[in-house]
């Protein structure tokens, strides 16, 4: 839609010209309105001017959004649908979380009411375009990992637009994907752009924390079959400058910082919130940009030729969409996602700058590297934390142990549920085989309400399992990393002191 000119020109032959004084007054009023709208857009929490949100900006510039995802806010000023779905772990009930107002911010209060006192997973992220390119936990892929689980819905609360909202706190095993090739997303060398707002502090070096174009099935089908933006400490093509994290392009079988892989000019983005931008004309050229989502503009890390390694020039995208994983469902990395969109065509620098300005106007605030929801730690003997083996993957039967406390470790943050269970990464602290025997080992297992999943804090600092009458115990008072926990006759010893934080 073209925008009207702010100037007043003489009309066509036969038209009536406005008097100069009236024209001057109209110009003055329009200028004042423009300043007022500009001030509103720049204030967190203020009403957004029509057409001011990222997908409005992209669309007006001729590069429309074909996918738009966020748990934080609307990305179109007219959007008034659901942002995401949460599902309670204990009973499987689900509800959609929408907006406080059209074009506004997430209704986090609805989530808090629905999930209060228990754990919820984010089980769907709705596409805000009319294409319905929704994201669900992804299936197992050829990377050798199992199917993905949804992120803990209440694990990371931050502020945006002056409102409490939740980000998607991704740990190993968490990831989302479209079903097959998504509608309108670039394929076979078509141009496209993608941006996301992520964390520059909750990052890792494993594969892969990506958002963008991937294979239509969870399998590596060759160079150039992906076109996703990533933020990670992965130096795939040495040398790299500093220790990252860097905004990178996952083009499949390589995390490209620019040029043909290595790009020492890419100095990384480690701010609390990072705007990560990738665009690719599909034939000859791509660009990478990064910026602080709380202030300032974008820095261009690369704007030049596609890699000359085989398969990237031209590209061979398949049009799938991933979030938090690699194209073959490599889901070993960690990251945090707040919003992002994919567009058709090759976006201009001007529209990317406008999108960054809008992101800054949101006023994102709060820590992004530490779970800060209702979960707490369980501190045991030797000041160690109750932890799940295998780095946040949390499969059924995973050993529960003592380990050095790590603020970012998702599987060291436990929710004390109303039924007496303790849960982390969507499963419960469980006695193997629901046993009541002395020295029965502990594991993580699907929450199912059995007696082996009930725990009561005692006045002496122990955690008692009522079914067995025995207490959580570190065998022989051991405090070393990897000490497998068990239940044992309650005896008041230091080996049975576990504090719920």
Catalytic residues: 252, 328
For the chain, what's the residue count?
Answer: 501
Q: Which residues contact 320 (CB under 8 A, 6 or more apart)?
A: 177, 178, 180, 181, 182, 185, 213, 214, 215, 216, 217, 327
Residue 99 bridge partners (DSSP): 106
- Crossing angle of helices 20-42 and 349-362, rounded to 10°: 60
3-state secondary structure of 270: coil
The two tokens of residue 376 are 């707490």
Q: Which residues contact 344 (CB under 8 A, 6 or more apart)?
A: 63, 64, 66, 184, 186, 190, 191, 192
Q: Is the preceding omega at residue 169 within 30 degrees of 0, hence cis?
A: no
Hey, what's the torsion of the CAs at 211, 212, 214, 220, to 10 degrees? -40
CA distance 403 to 484: 10
CB atoms within 10 A of CB 405: 17
Residue 266 near residue 247, CB atoms below 8 Å: yes
CA distance 467 to 453: 9
Residue 421 near residue 444, CB atoms below 8 Å: no
CA distance 230 to 236: 12
């Amino acid at each position: 839609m073209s925008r009207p000119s702010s100037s007043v020109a003489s009309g066509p032959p036969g038209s009536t010209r406005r008097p100069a004084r009236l024209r001057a007054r109209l110009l003055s009023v329009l200028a004042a309105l423009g300043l007022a709208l500009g001030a509103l857009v720049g204030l967190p929490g203020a009403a957004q001017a029509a057409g001011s949100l990222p997908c409005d900006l992209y669309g007006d510039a001729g590069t429309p959004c074909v996918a738009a995802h966020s748990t934080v806010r609307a990305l179109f000023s007219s959007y008034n649908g659901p942002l995401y779905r949460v599902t309670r772990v204990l009973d499987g009930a689900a509800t959609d979380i929408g907006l406080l107002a059209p074009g506004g911010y997430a209704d986090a209060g609805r989530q808090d009411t629905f999930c209060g006192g228990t754990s919820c997973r984010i089980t769907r992220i709705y596409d805000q375009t009319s294409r319905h390119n929704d994201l669900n936990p992804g299936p197992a892929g050829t990377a050798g990992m199992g199917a993905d689980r949804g992120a803990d819905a209440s694990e990371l609360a931050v502020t945006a637009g002056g409102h409490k909202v939740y980000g998607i706190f991704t740990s190993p095993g968490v990831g989302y994907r479209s079903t097959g090739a998504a509608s309108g997303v670039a394929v076979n060398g078509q141009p496209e752009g993608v941006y996301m707002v992520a964390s520059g502090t909750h990052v890792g070096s494993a594969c892969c924390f990506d958002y963008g174009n991937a294979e239509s099935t969870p399998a590596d089908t060759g160079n150039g079959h992906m076109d996703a933006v990533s933020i990670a400490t992965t130096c795939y093509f040495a040398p790299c400058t500093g220790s990252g994290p860097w905004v990178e392009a996952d083009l499949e079988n390589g995390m490209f910082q620019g040029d043909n892989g290595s790009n020492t000019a890419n100095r990384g983005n480690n701010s609390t919130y990072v705007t990560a931008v990738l665009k690719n004309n599909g034939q000859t050229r791509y660009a990478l940009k990064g910026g602080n989502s709380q202030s300032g503009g974008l820095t261009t890390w690369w704007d030049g030729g596609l890699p000359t390694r085989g398969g990237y020039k031209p590209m061979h995208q398949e049009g799938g969409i991933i979030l938090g994983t690699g194209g073959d469902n490599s889901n070993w990395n960690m990251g945090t996602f707040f919003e992002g969109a994919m567009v058709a065509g090759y976006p201009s620098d001007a529209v990317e700058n406008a999108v960054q300005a809008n992101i800054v106007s949101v006023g994102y605030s709060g820590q992004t590297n530490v779970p800060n929801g209702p979960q707490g730690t369980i501190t045991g003997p030797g000041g160690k934390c109750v932890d799940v083996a295998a780095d946040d993957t949390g499969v059924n039967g995973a050993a529960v142990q003592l380990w050095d406390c790590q603020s970012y470790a998702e599987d060291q943050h436990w929710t004390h549920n109303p039924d007496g269970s303790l849960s982390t990464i969507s499963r419960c602290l469980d006695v193997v085989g629901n046993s009541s025997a002395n020295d029965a080992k502990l594991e993580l297992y699907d929450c199912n309400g059995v007696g082996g999943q009930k725990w009561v804090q005692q006045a002496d600092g122990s955690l008692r399992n009522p079914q067995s009458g025995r207490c959580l115990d570190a065998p022989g008072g051991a405090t070393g990393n990897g000490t497998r926990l068990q239940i044992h006759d309650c005896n008041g010893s230091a080996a049975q002191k576990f504090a719920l934080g």
